[in-house]
């Protein structure tokens, strides 16, 4: 877990960093919770800048989240095969180490930037911002951000993207929505991946997985698919992407933008206040920022360059 985002603040040790606690202040005298909240505020400022960058180019930015090994990169490979001639695609990859996933994407002829986060368990808006400086977005329609494999922290951080897609793979078990509610509440779409294994892993009940998802109070679509099958099997996923891209272009034409759902319980885990997310309010105006207006805060991550709140929120 990373020390800078507050992942190490839990319900068991939270009292130590709250006012009056043993570690309520840093060595410099600042309140520990204030430091975490300041970092979140800076992240949200950077995310707004990133989103304006995408909107100015009519790009749909999709954040892919899941546990490690759920099939995010395989899904991207299959999506590129299916849509690569129809749409311009670029990818930002996030992992603690290696360029393995980015190399797989580049082998498909698509530009990919690898972010090696070191010990950070999620991407943040600053890391994505740094990657964007190294990515040519000319002709790009959809930017996929493959987040670090983790079913907790990525759901609580705005990267400047528009939609969250959460993958649930059959080998993980059907109770993951119940065990990790923050992640699944944040999803605009849930993909049941490795669905070709359903006949083999008969202890996974797809209907039960959907019941767990609905118990969270969400109407988010659940689509089964297998990235190993033909493109026809990917049809509902591809149609969803086309529809979201069309909606993004309509928003841009009307001067609006879209934001993903940020979860209040996740924000609390990361040092925020209960009862609201740490993103901008629903009425935040869409005003692109220039680089001169923006304060560039850089995360401690290595970026490698390749060759080649409220669900589905829309803001004026």
Distance separating alpha carbons of residues 89 and 173, to the nearest angstrom: 31
- What is the percent of the chain with per-residue pLDDT over 90, rounded to a whole number? 55
Number of H helices, E strands in the chain: 9, 10
> In the chain, which residue ranges form alpha helices assigned H by DSSP?
32-56, 72-83, 100-106, 125-132, 176-179, 181-185, 206-214, 235-253, 264-269
Token code pair at residue 170: 């059959």
Tens-digit pLDDT profile for residues 84-124: 999 999 999 988 788 889 999 999 999 999 988 776 778 88
Bridge partner residues of 113 (DSSP): 92
Q: Which residue segments constitute the domains of the chain, with CATH numbers given?
A: 55-262+299-308 (3.40.50.300)
pTM as predicted: 0.78
Give the burial class of 205: count Cβ atoms within 10 A of its Cβ; 0-12 exposed, 13-18 middle, 19 or more buried: middle
- Which two three-digit tokens encode residue 270? 């990361």
229-283 confidence digits (pLDDT tens): 766 679 999 999 999 999 999 999 999 999 987 665 545 544 444 333 333 333 3
Q: Using alpha carbons only, what angle is made at residue 209 by residues 205 and 213, rounded to the nearest 5 degrees?
A: 165
The two three-digit tokens of residue 65, written as one number = 């989240």
Residue 130 φ/ψ, nearest 5 degrees: -60, -40
């Amino acid at each position: 877990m990373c020390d800078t985002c507050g992942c190490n603040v839990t319900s068991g040790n939270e009292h130590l960093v709250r006012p009056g606690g043993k570690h309520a202040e840093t060595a410099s005298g600042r309140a520990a919770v204030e430091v975490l909240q300041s970092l979140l505020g800076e992240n949200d400022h950077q995310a707004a800048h990133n989103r304006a960058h995408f909107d100015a180019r009519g790009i749909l930015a999709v954040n892919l989240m899941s546990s490690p090994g759920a099939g995010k990169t395989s899904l991207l490979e299959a999506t590129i095969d299916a849509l690569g001639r129809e749409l311009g695609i670029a990818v930002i990859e996030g992992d603690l180490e290696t360029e393995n996933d980015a190399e797989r994407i580049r082998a498909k002829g698509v530009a990919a930037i690898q972010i090696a986060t070191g010990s950070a368990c999620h991407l943040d808006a600053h890391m994505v911002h740094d990657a964007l400086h190294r990515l040519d977005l000319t002709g790009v329609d959809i930017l996929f951000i493959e987040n670090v494999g983790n079913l907790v922290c990525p759901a609580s951080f705005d990267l400047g993207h528009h939609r969250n897609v959460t993958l649930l793979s059959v080998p993980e078990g059907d109770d993951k929505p119940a065990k990790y509610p923050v992640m699944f509440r944040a999803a605009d779409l849930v993909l049941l991946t490795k669905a070709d294994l359903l006949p083999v892993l008969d202890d996974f009940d797809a209907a039960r997985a959907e019941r767990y998802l609905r118990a969270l109070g969400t109407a988010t679509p659940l689509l089964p698919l297998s990235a190993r099958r033909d493109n026809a099997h990917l049809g509902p996923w591809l149609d969803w992407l086309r529809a979201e891209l069309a909606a993004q272009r309509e928003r841009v034409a009307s001067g609006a933008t879209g934001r993903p759902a940020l979860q209040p319980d996740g924000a609390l885990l990361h040092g925020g206040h209960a009862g609201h997310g740490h993103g901008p309010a629903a009425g935040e105006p869409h005003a692109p920022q220039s680089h001169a207006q923006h304060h560039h805060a850089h995360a401690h991550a290595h970026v490698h360059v390749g060759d080649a709140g409220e669900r589905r929120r829309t803001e004026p």
